[in-house]
Structure formats: structure tokens, C-alpha cells
Structure 1
Amino acid sequence: MKAAITLYDALVSANVPADKAKDVVEAWEKEMNDLVTQSYLKAELKELELKLTLRMGMMLSAAVGIMIASMRFML
């Protein structure tokens, strides 16, 4: 909120009409709400890494199982 007030004051002091300055501040606040933090991105990346590791492990174990089963039929 403090940054929004500072931005509004800066716009008004730069001779931007008050209603236009208010519109700019509201648009800026909307955009700021959509931003994500670096820690959030790191947490999401770790979660995706875990999911990928588990999927790769399941695929590897399935492939080994298929190979062992096919070797038994060959013998």
C-alpha cells in the first residue's frame, strides 16, 4: 500500500491528473498481485522434480519387468 501511495504522489507531482494517476495505480496493483515470488517458483520446481523422478522410476521398473518377463519366455 505504501508503494501505491508513493507512486500516486509521484504521478500527481509530475502533473498527471488525479483520476489518471489513480487508474495507473490501480492497474499497477492488479499486476503486482499476479506476480509470483522466487521462493514460490523454487517450491513449485521441487514439486515438479519429485513428480518427474517418481514417474521415471515407475517407467524404469516397468521396463525392467517387461525385459525380465520377455527373457523368461525366450528360455
Structure 2
Amino acid sequence: MKNRLEMYKALKAINVPEQQIEAVIQALDSDTHFSSAGKFDPDIAPFRAELSRFEVSLIVNISVMLSLVVAILFAGIAFIQ
């Protein structure tokens, strides 16, 4: 709202007609709505949930593999001695 008032005052100061002032402000408002609409994506929440599940699954798989490697190393050391 503050930006609209400032824009109105600036355009009025340079003697722009009222109709053109309103057209400019409406155009800027619609452009602002379109640019902010791209920032909010309602489909991002399911994607983040799936990504979180994948992250947990990946951590579990890496932990299991690391445990197996450590167990094989200990078995190899015990076999050598």
C-alpha cells in the first residue's frame, strides 16, 4: 500500500494524468502478483516430504554398508592374526 501511494505521488508530481497513473499502478500490481506467484509453489510440500524420506532411506543404507565394511575389516584383521 505504501508503494502505491509513493508511486501515485511521484507520478502526480510530474503531471501524469489520473487515468494513466491508475493504469501504471495496476500494471505494476499485476506484475508484482505474477512474480510472487512463481515463488510459492503448492506442489513443493509433497516434494519436500518425499525428499526427506529419501534422505532418511539414504542415511540408513549408508549406515548399513558402513557397518558391513567395518565388520569385514575386523574379520579380516582377526583372520590375519
Residue 26 (1) aligns with residue 29 (2): no
Letter in 2 for 1:45: S
TM-score (norm 1): 0.65
TM-score where L is the length of structure 2: 0.61
Structure 1 unaligned residues grouped into runs of 5+: 1-10
1-structure distance, mates of 2:78, 2:41: 58
Q: Which has the larger radius of gyration?
A: 2
Instruction: Give the 5 Å matches for 1:30-69.
Output: 30-33=38-41, 36-37=44-45, 39-69=46-76
Deviation readout 1:19-74 (Å, 9 max, x if unpaired) = 1111111111121248721x322221111111111111011011001101101111
Against the structure 1 CA distance between its residues 60 and 44, is the aligned structure 2 distance closer, same or farther, given a 3 Å change threshold? same
How many residues are paired up? 60
Q: 1 CA distance for matches of 2:41 and 2:65?
A: 38
Tell which has more relative contact order, 1 or 2 (C-alpha 8 A, sep 6+).
Answer: 1
Identical aligned residues as a percent: 5
After superposition, the Cα gap between the structure-2 partners of 1:36 and 1:28, relative to the gap in structure 1 and judged at 3 Å, is same
Moved over 4 A (4+): none
